[in-house]
Amino acid sequence: MRVLGINAVFHDPSAALVVDGVVVAAAEEERFSRRKHGKPPVPFSTWELPEQAARWCLEHGGVRPEDLDAVGYSYDPRLGPEPNHDLATDGWEGLRTLYVRRAPLFLKAALPGLDPSRVRFVPHHVAHAASAYLAAPSSTASVLVLDGRGECASHLAGRAVEGELKILAIQALPHSLGLMYEEVTAHLGFRRSSDEYKVMALAAYGRPRFLDVLRAAVRSTGDGGFVVAPIEWASLAPRVDPGGAWGEAHADLAASVQARLEEMLVELARWLHEQTGDRDLVMAGGVALNCVANSHLAERGPFERVWVQPAAGDAGTALGAALYVAQRLGDPIAPMPTAALGREWPEAALRAWLETAAVPFERPRDIAEATAEVLAANGVVAWFQGRSEFGPRALGHRSLLAHPAHPDNLRRLNDIKGREQFRPVAPMIRLERAADVFEGPLPSPYMLFTHRVRPVWRPRIPAVVHVDGTARIQTVDADEEPLVARMLAGFERRTGLPAVVNTSLNTAGRPMVDDPRDALECFGSAPVDALALGPFLVRRRAA
């Protein structure tokens, strides 16, 4: 069966293609349109589809729109707010429902040849859940989904047995841990449903002194759900204007919200574990991108193993909807083997891009060794290799790499990316070396957990150690990522250090680099010392 998945309703529009139960391609629209998060998450934009991502997925799979057996759309309008006579009520939410009902026709217009009767609506949280239990290595697991909102809920707890989901609890809106986190994100002057990870980073600078207030307002209800009472944020810390300065009270507020979220995750997981007795938990939904909370859960929660969908935000629902529909149509589903599900270019095409740009370049015998050499000399390298990543993390395919021993490299990278200086950068390390340097759950291939840096290593790799002594690591398995593993080994041979700084390849406010033109534009406009574009190396003259 050939099944296309579409996420279009809120933010991070994306598409995925599943053929005979195997994920063939998945991509976010922002990587094509160069518009961060694809579109604003308002009802008026619901009609906009991930057109370019969907076309590319089909092209990559050699599937024409008329060949599709089904399209899974990750929102069910039958569960959404009913449009009434005055569409403006309830913040135009009814308009969203109307647009989703028309989505099959919009899809037919975007993908000529597609049969609109093949579109199947998958409830938003079921799509999130499927992106975890059908994509994870174990097909029997407890399932926890937490996000801002779907049609009418913000949470799903359930159990998947041999790939069949049984829903055990759903928390209806307005109670939402994701929306609470979004609110505090906006209160602290950051961008709602985009910058939540900044609150998580800021939390490490504060003390959770408002935790009692949070505990009174945010409580689990003993039946798998929870309540979130309205919180007067300004009574705890004054509102910050966008881009404004934050102080101690703001860091303390971030720390308090983060701490309560961590406690809630453990409470919800305990309830779920009492129902299922499973050893494995799989998670998705935007809240599952909170790697600090994930680590807290992995460490203190009742489950032995926790697996998180790397595209845990709404982008991943395109994949979940496609997998869910494919399974309903009878296909056995294969776990996703990697998050590298996006575009790539053959060597000849990369060479042509470099020749068009008229930049001097070389083709070293091994780009991994040549990159390790530049990094060892404290150069910053833009690393563009293979298929781009699905999800918000750079995992060694579209990365900025640097030497971890120089504390100033954090500032250099944050300058290149136009980011706040309190934002940490992360290390990548070969799997077999990870336990020597970091404490925490291994492997960690998708950067969804934080690990404690062993004290003896902290002064040796200061650029990647967050203020609380942790690091959000990516472990690299040489069997899965031989090129990256070779680069890391080459760096260790030269420096004695097993880790390299890895952050996403993009500049301020832009989506991650996806195609060779983006890579060349990034290299041309930012103080990066070298660009490793496939097997080719471009050096900045001064370097």
> Site residues (CB under 5 A) for Fe ion?
147, 314
Question: Which is closer to Fe ion, CB of 177 or CB of 537?
Answer: 177
Nearest approach, Cβ of residue 148 and Fe ion (Å): 6
The CA distance from 476 to 474, in Å, is 6
- Three-state SS across 402-432? ECCCCCHHHHHHHHHCCCCCCCCCEEEEEHH
Cβ-contact 424, 402 below 8 angstroms: no
Token couple for 37:
């998060």
Nearer to Fe ion, 57 or 145 (CB): 145
- Are 449 and 439 contacting, i.e. CB atoms less than 8 angstroms apart? no
Minimum CB separation of residue 353 from Fe ion in Å reads 36
- Strand locations in 304-369 (E): 305-308
How far apart are CB 500 and Fe ion at their closest, in Å? 33
* Two structure tokens written together for 313: 């935000």
Mapped onto helix, strand or coil, the DSSP state of residue 392 is: coil
User: Of 284 and 485, which has the nearer Cβ to Fe ion?
Assistant: 284
- Closest CB to Fe ion: residue number: 147
- Number of other residues whose CB lies within 10 A of the CB of residue 109: 11
Catalytic sites, residue numbers: 11
Which lies closer to Fe ion via its Cβ, residue 123 or residue 386? Answer: 123
| Smallest distance from Fe ion to CB 268, Å | 16
CA distance between the termini of the chain: 51
Q: How far is the CB of 316 from Fe ion (least distance, A)?
A: 8
Q: In which element (H, E) is residue 465 found? A: none
Specify the residue, 53 or 463, whose C-beta has the smaller distance to Fe ion: 53
Cis bond before residue 360 (omega within 30° of 0): no
Alpha-carbon 403 to chain mean position: 24
CA torsion through residues 59, 61, 64, 68, sign = negative
